[in-house]
Structure 1
Amino acid sequence: MSTPQPPLPQAAPAWQAETGSAHPAYTSPIPVVRTHFGHALASEWTKIRSLRSTMWTLGVFVLLVLGIGLAAGAMVASSPADMHGDSPLPFGFFGLLMGCMCIITLGVLTTASEYGTGMIRTTMTVCPSRGRVLAAKATVFFVLSFVITLVSASLVAFLHVAMLEGHGAGTPSGQEWLKGTVGVSLYIALLGLLSLVIGSLVRHSAGAITIMIGTVLAPLVIALFMFAQSLEGVRQALFEYSIPSQLSVFYSTSLTGSGPSGWDPLWIILGVTAVAFAGAYLLLEKRDV
């Protein structure tokens, strides 16, 4: 009886010989790309331009700025009073004051709405760098709000100059044009950016919008009802540093005879926004999504 012979060794498959593993190596057909800040910007731009709330809020903003601004200019143009060389640019203040509420709302929704829907978990999973996400949101929103405000404010300013040219209106200087278009646009964009940061801190859309609208209107309203002589200093400070008063500085028509002047309101809102952004960044790194 013959003894069975052991089986002859067989050559290992090519994939096993190359990898030394019991499982075949897999190469993804999708190229692996190291992510960077540009990818976060592209993602946030896609989100903000695809939301209906963006179109609605910015559309209402343009309507308010153009509608109220042109209505104010038309009222002056239809009156027999002579402007005696006054600049026509300040008539754009009223529309921008109302329109900034739309920028505030959009700023809050840019961050807080993702927490309300739970979309923030997907965002943080795709981009684990939370600081990068916040910076990308802030950059996209700031550029968008600045461009929209600049176009709207400039259009109203040019129309006011044309409408009131025959009513004794003076020709605005280069400094007045710069402050009444670029300066005020930077201020409103920074105000919207502050709203975005507050939305990140509060994580609740209605709460953050209430806080920001209160920040805009409450100081002025409180100051109007401070009649006590002992509170005169507080009353004056509320008038001087209220957002409507600072916004009027860009048109050289401050609501008060003292307080911030020139470009001071821009540096104030920039400092406040920078401090709030730093706080939001630190809190975002510590919180659970």
Structure 2
Amino acid sequence: MSTAVTVDAPGRSAPRHSGGGFAGAVASEWTKLWSIRTPYVCLLVGVVVSVIFTFYYGSIARINDKPVQPVGNAPVSSVVLVQFALVILAMTTVTSEYATSSIRTSLLWVPVRHRVQLAKSLVTAVVAFVAGVVSGVLGMATAWVPFRGHATFEASKAISQLLAMGLYCALIAVLTVGVSFALRTAAGSVAVLFFLISALPSMLTGLGGPVLLAINDYLPQTAGGHFMLSDGAAPYPPPVAILIVLAWTAVAHLTGRFVLRGRDA
């Protein structure tokens, strides 16, 4: 925190605090995040789910004699489950403060309201990026044994998929923060996020048909999957896929900002 000095009388001065700015807001959100139990539980659950799912994925690929594929496909496929641990983590940073009314204190100390949202988004994005990369590394190591020759390891491909997993997880975390600021309740946020990220793609895929499948290609989870796999099966190249996820994230962030600025805490 910086301190400025103002002179209010001859020979006398009084300190005036100008605040920590955006850096101070980020530091505050980082401290608040790790002061509660939720992030530790969410990250642990994410790791456990990733290990179990990737072992299962490799085993099924071997048993069903599927074509040889990059070992990174296993942890990429596990993201459909792992991402919800990160969704809960990111959501809690917002909804827990509304539930306890501590959001009023946060906005009092950071009067520029959008800085609070930006700080929460940045902190959760960093944590989600690291978590995505780490779960990818663990997933590759776990899946390699049960694959038993049905997977290949190429360093450049593996690194590309790990970074793609981290980026996708980071964007999902920011999207979650935006939705959470818009709805302000855990129940509402979970319902909307689950429907958008998981239920709607499953419904469209299950119903089938060219129109519904085309719509599904432009939902965040489907586009993210195309981006992380980068196998040429998508109707658009990987840069377009991540731009689709980014567009969903931007819409959620701007919606959250609009509600935050327009409604009382």
Q: Sort the TM-score into its range (normalised by shorter chain).
A: 0.7 to 0.9
5+ residue gaps, structure 1: 1-17
Question: 1:57 matched to which residue of 2?
Answer: 42
Match of 1:251 in 2: 229
Say whether 1:148 aligns with 2:150. Answer: no
Go from structure 1 to structure 2 and tell me whether the alpha carbon gap of 1:91 and 1:42 turns closer, same or farther (over 3 Å shift).
same
User: Which structure: larger Rg?
Assistant: 1
Work out which of the residue numbers 179, 201, 207 in structure 2 matches 1:226.
Answer: 207
The answer to whether the 8 A contact 2:95-2:184 is kept is yes
- Please report how far the alpha carbon of residue 184 of structure 1 lies from its aligned counterpart in structure 2 after TM superposition: 1.8
Match of 1:275 in 2: 251
* 1:128 partner SS: coil
Which residue of 1 is the match for residue 5 of structure 2?
none
CA 1:160–1:225: 2 relative to 1, 3 Å? closer
TM-score scaled by length of structure 2: 0.84
Query: Normalised by the size of structure 1, how large is the TM-score?
Result: 0.78
Number of corresponding residues: 256
Indicate the SS of the match to 1:260: coil
TM-superposition CA deviations, 1:179-212 (whole Å, max 9, x none): 3110122112201210111000111111011100
8 Å contact kept, 2:46–2:85: yes
Return closer, same or farther for 1:103/1:76 CA change in 2, 3 Å cut-off: same
- Deviation above 4 Å: which 4+ runs of structure 1? 25-28, 74-77, 161-164
* Corresponding residue of 1:235: 212
Q: How far apart are the structure 2 equivalents of 1:285 and 1:242?
A: 27
Which residue type is aligned with residue 191 of structure 2? T
Report the secondary structure of 1:50's partner residue.
Answer: coil
Matched, 1:43 2:21: no
Residues 49 and 75 of structure 1, relative CA distance in 2, 3 Å threshold? same
Q: Which amino acid aligns with 2:162?
A: T
Q: Quick one: structure 1 residues 263 and 65, their matched pair in 2 at CA, closer, same or farther if it must change by over 3 Å?
A: farther
SS in 1 for 2:111: coil
Residue matched to 2:192: 211
How much is the aligned-residue C-alpha RMSD, in angstroms?
2.8
Residue 85 of structure 2: aligned partner: 102
What is the deviation of 1:153?
A: 0.7
Tell whether 2:94 aligns with 1:111.
yes
| Counterpart AA for 2:229 | Y
Q: Which amino acid in 2 is paired with 1:215? A: L
By percentage of residues, which structure has more strand? Answer: 2
Q: Distance in 2 between matches of 1:133 and 1:80?
A: 50
Contact 1:241 1:260 in 2 (8 A): no
SS state at 1:259 partner? coil
Residue aligning to 1:129? 112
Distance 2:120 2:263 in 1: 18
Contact 1:195 1:209 in 2 (8 A): no
Q: Where in structure 2 are there 5+ consecutive unaligned residues? A: 1-7
Contact 1:65–1:152 (8 Å) recurs in 2: yes
SS of the counterpart of 2:104? helix
Secondary structure (helix, strand or coil) at the match of 1:241 reads coil
Deviation at 1:261, TM superposition (A): 3.5
CA offsets, 1:32-72, max 9 Å, x none? 45422111111100111111111111111111112211232
Aligned twin of 1:167: 149
Q: Please say if residues 64 and 96 of structure 1, whose CA atoms lie closer than 8 Å, have aligned partners that are also in contact.
A: no
